[in-house]
Structure 1
Amino acid sequence: MSEDIYGPIITILCTGLFGYLLVRGFSSGVMTFEQPVVKFSGRRKDQPLRFWAIAALLSFLTAASAVATIGQFFFPNGIGG
């Protein structure tokens, strides 16, 4: 298999993961984005700025992954090729 197959699969998984974290954060009121070294988190009630900053980060990552997936379907050889 080539990157024509692996690329969309990886970006679909990333879109699903970031979307899941975003929906889970809005439903629970605690937005978290964990990484191996540091964990970003914020509660809606007492840390609204951190909550919305992490929500913006996860929204951007979800949208960017979705656009990357769609782009790989419509332009499998890249925009210039």
Structure 2
Amino acid sequence: MKTPYYDYLSYALTYFYYRSLDGEKMEDIKVFHNEKVEEIRKTTVAGEVYQAIKRINRDNSQSAEMIVCTGYQEAMEIV
């Protein structure tokens, strides 16, 4: 299973998009230090991992064991 990590700009642009929808003011972002951008990054990675796992055993018709090797524990806790 391979889960691509997007560049940080993708997460920041998503954050700016949703801020603009809410009519909120734009602000500077410190890489890996903005709490809301980190939440977007964590949930995006968790979603990608979940989709990869579901592709292995789509209909749960057979027993399957998944072994995921990652250092990103926060994303795995969501999955």
Greater fraction strand: 1
TM-score w.r.t. length of structure 2: 0.41
TM-score w.r.t. length of structure 1: 0.41
